[in-house]
Structure 1
Amino acid sequence: MQVYRGQVIENYELNLMKNNIGEFLSMNSFVSTSHNRLVALQFARTSTMIRDDMQPIIFEITIDPRLKTKAFADITKYSSFSKEQEILIMIGTLFRIETVIKNENDRVWVARLSLASEDDFHLREIYSHMKQKIGENTTLDSLGKLLLRMGENEKARKCYERMINEILLTLADARLGLGWAHLRCNNCDESLEQFEEVLQIREYVLGEDHSSVGETYSFLGEVHLENENYEKTVIDLNKAIKIQEKTFPSNSLDLAATYDSIGNAYTLMEKYGLALEFYEKALKIRQRTLLPNHPQIAAVYKNIGWMYKCKKRYSIALEYYKKSLKISRKTLPSTHQNIIEIETAIHEMESKMKY
């Protein structure tokens, strides 16, 4: 029997599966699947949770109905969505990873799994212990202890290494949030310290070219920009761009934000040619990805206007400020600070053009 599940997963989870073909995968929750591959494909493509560091994936799961462990049930007649032909797989079920490949036609990853039997790879003991000792409260620590008792020392080592890495990444997320809190409280030095700790952890756990490392460099660049240290700003933002261009899709809004930020830095450094180059890259992505009246498009028009104002090209600056204002008036109230700033800039440009 073949069933399917569509979802999105983080890049590091995808790489973990790709590097462990033939090994076993356990999911720590009930797994909803469907007989209908198109249903799974729709879930993978339309997930609202997808970010730049995530990938859509379909799990193609082969189930042998003759298995002694009946770890699945057809719940179609009980489901509110009978057309999904739902098969529910129980919590803690083990799967063997057969292949992980990219389906270019559907633009999703496909992981082919097979439901493991109790006899697979001496798994009878694992099933027994998981049911008797761990139950539904499975953690990496409890699994590691179980593997040590079974003499599976190498697997235990990998389990605890993963546990440490996950703890470190959680610590990095906490430091990241603390860094943003400090930045918004105008504590730039404390913010910088936290972001540098995040960078060190993410490089150690994920590698120097991971998208999360690129994200961290972009945040460091923002702090240096706030500190008016423009040389360090462009160094960190260029590092971010180098990684993001390799790891993000070409229409990534996160990449566009980094382009926009480095454009601001180059404007403040009076390197207007470079500023315009990156503003136009940001604008191109946002125009391709967002609705025509989106505030992020208005924002980059405003920044281009500001760049031309600094360059004393007032007529061109006026043109871009008006473009920004036209969009902003459709999305913001007339008393919004952003509209007031743009209107003030327009009056300033018109005044300068008279003399």
Structure 2
Amino acid sequence: MNSFLSTSRKRDVALVFADPGIITNNQKRVLFEIEVNTRIHEVKPFADVSQFSSFEEYEILFMLGSIFRTSSIQYSEEEEVWIVKLILCSEQGYTLTNIYSSLKEDIGEYVGVLELGRILYKMGKYDKAEKYLNQLLNTLKEDSLLIGRCYHALGIIASEKGDYEKSLLFYNKSVEFEILALSIDVK
């Protein structure tokens, strides 16, 4: 995947997105069933982002660079949908090491929770990036080291939008949390 992939843990929710009413003559309804072995410690390119959703989508977001292997493709007469079964590959699986190495050069070793905000920012979607970062701030624990980084990112966005007072406020908050984090590390 070269972009984020939004999925749902609920089959009926996923089928809503393959509604026959929105399918044109040249399109087919397809449901991807994704198998993830959470015991493979090298595979961490997904996150449950249900808490950030305004709807009950039970959303799982697969990160940039996720690679899947197709295990089967079948047509379900009952649901009138093609079912494509995918398996999330590990870094060492199926001689994909070269592909992963290339992706790591492009997107970095680890795509963390702040990455979505950064990508939205780079796409010029400042309002969406700001909304995501504010939602993330609301979910972080008070002592999270990410708080300072969130405020810093919000400062960058505010500056880009021309709101320099708000930007300065966010930068100051960022510095406060970074100083607090340093004092905790020292003790």
1:34 equivalent to 2:8? Answer yes
Number of residues paired by the alignment? 107
- Provide the rounded CA distance (Å) in 1 between the counterparts of 2:47 and 2:14: 18
Distance 1:119 1:77 in 2: 31
Q: Deviations over 1:189-230 (max 9, x none)?
A: xxxxxxxxxxxxxxxxxxxxxxxxxxxxxxxxxxxxxxxxxx
Shift of 1:80: 1.1
Question: Which aligned segments of 4 or more residues in structure 1 are displaced greater than 4 angstroms?
Answer: none
Aligned with 2:78 (options 101, 105, 108): 105
Determine the C-alpha separation between the residues in 2 that align with 1:93 and 1:47: 30
Bigger relative CO (Cα 8 Å, ≥ 6 apart)? 2
Q: Which residue, 55, 58, 66 being the options, matches 1:93?
A: 66
Pairwise CA distance, 1:113: 0.2
Structure 2 spans left out of the alignment, 5+ residues: 109-187
Name the residue aligned to 1:84.
57
31-40 or 120-129, larger mean C-alpha shift = 120-129
Q: Over residues 136-185 of structure 1, what are the superposed CA-to-partner deviations in whole Å (9 max), with x where a residue is unaligned?
A: 9xxxxxxxxxxxxxxxxxxxxxxxxxxxxxxxxxxxxxxxxxxxxxxxxx
Does structure 1 retain, via aligned residues, the 8 Å contact 2:43–2:89? no
| CA distance in 2: counterparts of 1:47 and 1:131, whole angstroms | 40
Higher strand share: 2
Superposed, which structure 2 residues align to 1:186-205 within 5 Å? none
Residue type matched to 1:45 in 2?
D
Take 2:21 and 2:64, find their aligned partners in 1: how far apart are those partners?
22
Show the counterpart of 1:60. Answer: 33
Give the number of the structure whose residues are more often helix, by fraction: 1
Please list every run of 5 or more consecutive structure 1 residues that lacks an aligned counterpart in the other structure.
1-26, 137-355
- In structure 1, distance between residues paired with 2:101 and 2:13: 34
> What secondary structure sits across from 2:16 in the alignment?
helix
Deviation sequence 1:40-67 (CA, Å, 0-9, x none): 111112563x221110100000011122
Larger radius of gyration: 1
Q: Which residue identity is paired with 2:73?
A: V
Pair 77,58 (structure 1): closer, same or farther in 2 beyond 3 Å: same
Counterparts of 1:60 and 1:96, CA distance in 2: 11
